[in-house]
Amino acid sequence: MKKILIVGQGIAGTLLAWSLRKRGAEVHIWDGDLAGSSSSVAAGIINPVTGKRFVKSWRFDEFYPIAKGIYQQLEQELGISIWEEHPTLRLLGTPEEANDWAIRCAQPEYADHLGETEHARAWEPFLKPGFRFGVIRKSARVRFPLLLTTFRENAHREGIFFEKSIDYQQVETLLQDYDRIVFCEGWRATTNPFFPESAFRVSKGEALIIRFQGHIDRIPTEMVKKTMLLVPMGDGTFWVGSTYRWHFEDTLPGTDGRDYILGYLHEMFDTPFEIVNHVSGIRPTMIDRRPLIGPSTLNPKIFIFNGLGTKGALLAPFFAEQLAAEICTQKG
């Protein structure tokens, strides 16, 4: 049985720990609760199409069923509800956008995922007039904070979770106790000396939690997206985000991020709202926009699981399984 230390308990570290333990490995997890962590502020949305041209996400049809299966297994094992499937109402602001959408809907590989609709459904009373609408049928939300907190509490009770940060000087000594060390540090890996060649291009993201004011007959359960995405949180509030900043001086929410989100909210809505919270995190994005997974070139017992970028919810389950299988079948 291998003994493995996982450094970082965001979505990458959590799912890797689960996949390794399922294969019989002994796992310890360290997390220093460091500023700028991404999973704790993310909406956890899985969306089949992204970008202005509504292009299908990389290997979506392969990754989606695996993600769904794993999150649902975690729901059962942990006794929590973290997987929700909701359609997303896509606001189309210009005739060109509506035309691009119609073209996508007519393509066979998009037919399962996208559709057209005449009305804004439950969002009708909230929106400014003048939009056309599309529907993204297969979108889902993973409740990251609930998953992470519950997993951490259980691991803590079992005595395998430790609230501490790693000092890179300790690694050689730790390898006398552990067969492998896997770094799942999110954006903090940019300074990890065991992966000097990693091509990170991290981005700061901010989101607001808002509540619409006044009497509301029916609170929508669907998500709605234009430039900003609104996600119903189930308690009358909505997560709204997010921003992308490639150059930033700190990890904290700022007035520029807030004003940017508010600008787009005012383009979408007539209904007044209040801001309940404002959060920020740093996405661990790579230049090639692909996950970064594998051993260090300096020491084959040290691994990295990172680079989930904007798509941690979709990618982490598949790649955690792959990495766990690889580590558990290695000799030595």
Ligand X SMILES: Cc1cc2nc3c(=O)[nH]c(=O)nc-3n(C[C@H](O)[C@H](O)[C@H](O)COP(=O)(O)OP(=O)(O)OC[C@H]3O[C@@H](n4cnc5c(N)ncnc54)[C@H](O)[C@@H]3O)c2cc1C
DSSP string over 193-249:
TT-TT--B--EEEEEEEEEE-S--S----SEEESSSEEEE-SSS-EEEE---BSS-S
Among 2, 32, 87, 269, binds ligand X (CB under 6 A): 32
Residue 142, beta-bridge partner list: 83
- Residue 284 exposed, middle or buried by CB count within 10 Å (0-12, 13-18, 19+): buried
44 binds ligand X (CB under 6 A): yes
Among 27, 28, 30, 64, binds ligand X (CB under 6 A): 30
The contact pattern for ligand X, residues 208-237, with x = CB under 6 A and - = no contact, is ------------------------------
Among 3, 34, 96, 109, binds ligand X (CB under 6 A): 34
153 binds ligand X (CB under 6 A): no
- Give dist(CA 202, CA 245) in Å, integer: 9
- Give dist(CA 254, CA 248) in Å, integer: 10
| Residues 273-332 interacting with ligand X (rule: CB under 6 A) | 281, 283-284, 306, 308-314
Rg, the chain, Cα only: 21
**Which range of residues in 39-47, 153-161, 247-255, 259-267 is near ligand X by CB under 6 A?**
39-47
CB of 169: closest distance to ligand X in angstroms? 12
- Give dist(CA 257, CA 279) in Å, integer: 10
CB of 290: closest distance to ligand X in angstroms? 12
Among 6, 25, 29, 43, binds ligand X (CB under 6 A): 43
For residue 56, what are the CA distances in angstroms to 111, 113, 191, 225, 227?
Answer: 11, 9, 32, 16, 17
Binding site for ligand X (CB under 6 A): 7-13, 30-34, 37-39, 41-45, 165-166, 184-186, 188, 205-207, 241-242, 281, 283-284, 306, 308-314
